[in-house]
Structure formats: C-alpha cells, structure tokens
C-alpha cells in the first residue's frame, strides 16, 4: 500500500512539473475574435517570454461555453510569425466562452485560460478598426443604382436602335455587377483608404467644403425626375445624412488628388493639362494600392 502511494506521489510530481509554466511567459488573444454563422472563425494568440516572441511551439486551443453545454471545440494553432499562432474554429453561437490555450516545447507545457465574450461581427468588414456595416453596403448599393438609372435615362435620350440596345445591355450588366458585395466593399475600401491617407497628411474636410459639394450633387440630381423619385423612396433625410458623411470622405480624397496634381505640375512644367491629369491619376492609383496594403482590413 505504501509503495502505491509513494509511486502515485512521484507520478503527480511529474505531471505538475510537466504542466508548470514560466511566470515570464505571457499569452494574449492578439486580435478580436468573432463568431461567424455557419463558417469557421480565425482565432489568434501571441506568446512571448520576457516580451520576446516564442517560436516553434506546439499550440492548441480548446473552447467551451461557460453557462451552456455546447461541448468542446479544439483546434491546433499554426505559427504565423513573431510568436503569433492562429487556427480556425467553428462555434455554434456567440456568448461567454472559456478558452484554454496550451503551448508545448521540448516537453514543457504552458497553459493559459481566457474568459472571453465572443461576439458576432458588427458589419461586413473592419478597416483599421472601423466597421463597414450592412447599412453602408445598402447605401452603396442604392447610390450605384441611382447613378445607373440616371445614365440609362441619359442614354435613352441620346441613342436609338442598335446603339440604344447596346447601351441598355451595358447598364443591365452594371446592375448585375452592383449586386456583388465584394465590389461594393472594394468601393468603400478605396474611398476610406484615401480619406485615411488625407488625414495622415494633415488634411481635413470643413463643413463649408462638404456643403459646397453637396450643393453641386443636389443640383445634378434635381435635373432628373427618376433621381428625385428614387431618393424620395429611399428616404430624403436618410439619404442626405448618408451623403454628408460620404462627401466628407470624398473631399478628403480630392485633397490627395490635388496634392498629386500639384506634384506632377512641378515635376513636368512643360506638359499639357490632359497629360498632367493622366500622370496624376496614375500616381493616385499606385498610391491607393500602397495605402490599402498598409491598412489592417478584415472581411467577414
């Protein structure tokens, strides 16, 4: 009996020593973790020792709901870089979850328990921490439809016969493309990216500048009965409140464009106006790609 107890005691010591963790090892959920309906979510954790990234670890995470029995969900985490480990897990619902992260290297095990409220995403994407909401997407869908309707009307006035048929077929295709969420997201990302850059450069959009642009676009829409009807159906007040926010971003992006035009003029003093705009637009697109790549963008 004594032998059994002594043996059990030494086994317990071995287990405890194997699971012991260094006080200097720190684990942290490195990015907000959201629950996606009927698809996996990406879970990321950073692991450091005295603020130094720990690499080449065998890491796993186990998820269990705190107040409800939905079973356990376990996933292996793969190393990305700089002590960041990630893995996908499909959870059944949002709520309060207990997440046990286990890291092992050379037989030494470190474990950390997190109590984490897993939420559903507040929108379709995150751009540098700012949400692109479903309402944002709905507005872009509507504004594109509005511009297509105006263009249809203009072409109906300008063309006849085969040319008119071709024009209408083109706008039919544009309407189908407008239903693509990815295209709508791309539009939003492009504009917001340049607005971020404008602010980084010290620009801002004044109330007066926004009102001037809004007055111009109101005058344009008022020329077309179809535009006035569609805006009224959408909700006149709601539409112009959205447009005010939209034109703040547009004014900011215009200031980046103007900076590039001035830059091209100085670099090419003998070039005509058309060529200046062409070169500035080319530089704008290159700058846009660079700016988008520099942002932290998550699509949900």
CB atoms inside a 10 Å sphere around CB 196: 20
Longest CA span, the chain: 103
Strands 125-127 and 72-79: unpaired
C-alpha angle 27-131-238 in degrees, rounded to nearest 5: 160
State both tokens at 194.
Answer: 């340049």
What pTM was computed for the model? Answer: 0.76
Residue 89, φ and ψ in degrees, nearest 5: -145, 140
Q: Write out the H or E segment, with its range, that includes residue 98.
A: strand 95-105
| CA atoms of 13 and 42, how far apart (whole Å) | 36
Domains of the chain and CATH, by start: 16-118 (2.60.40.1940), 125-299 (1.10.4030)
Contact 34, 21 (CB under 8 A): no
| Tens digit of each residue's pLDDT, the chain (300 residues) | 334 444 443 333 333 333 444 557 899 999 889 998 888 999 999 999 988 999 999 999 999 999 888 889 999 999 998 899 999 999 999 999 999 999 998 889 999 999 999 999 989 999 998 999 999 999 999 999 999 999 999 999 999 999 999 999 999 999 999 999 999 999 999 999 999 999 999 999 999 999 999 999 999 999 999 999 999 999 999 999 999 999 999 999 999 999 999 999 999 988 899 999 999 999 999 999 999 999 989 888
State both tokens at 70.
Answer: 């939905």
CB atoms inside a 10 Å sphere around CB 83: 22
């Amino acid at each position: 009996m004594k032998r059994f107890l002594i043996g059990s005691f030494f086994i317990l010591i071995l287990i405890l020593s194997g699971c012991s963790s260094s006080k200097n090892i720190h684990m942290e959920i490195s990015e907000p973790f959201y629950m996606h309906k009927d698809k996996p979510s990406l879970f990321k954790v950073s692991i450091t020792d005295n603020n130094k990234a720990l690499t080449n670890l065998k890491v796993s995470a186990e998820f269990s709901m705190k107040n409800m029995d939905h079973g356990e969900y376990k996933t292996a985490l793969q190393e990305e870089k700089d002590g960041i480990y990630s893995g996908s897990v499909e959870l059944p619902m949002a709520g309060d979850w207990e997440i046990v992260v286990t890291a092992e290297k050379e037989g030494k095990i470190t474990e950390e328990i997190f109590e984490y409220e897993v939420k559903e995403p507040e929108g379709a994407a995150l751009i540098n921490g700012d949400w692109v909401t479903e309402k944002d997407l709905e507005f872009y869908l509507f504004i594109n439809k509005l511009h297509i309707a105006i263009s249809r009307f203009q072409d109906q006035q300008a063309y006849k016969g085969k040319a008119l048929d071709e024009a209408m077929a083109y706008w039919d295709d544009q309407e189908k493309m407008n239903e693509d969420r990815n295209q709508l997201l791309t539009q939003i990302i492009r504009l917001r990216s340049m607005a971020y850059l404008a602010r980084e450069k010290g620009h801002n959009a004044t109330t007066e500048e926004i009102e001037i642009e809004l007055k111009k676009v109101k005058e344009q829409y008022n020329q077309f009965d179809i535009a006035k009807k569609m805006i009224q159906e959408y909700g006149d007040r709601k539409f112009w409140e959205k447009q005010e926010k939209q034109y703040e971003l547009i004014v900011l992006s215009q200031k980046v464009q103007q900076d590039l035009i001035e830059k091209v003029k100085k670099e090419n003093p003998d070039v005509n106006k058309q060529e200046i705009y062409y070169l500035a637009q080319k530089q704008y697109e290159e700058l846009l790609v660079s700016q988008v790549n520099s942002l932290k963008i998550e699509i949900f």
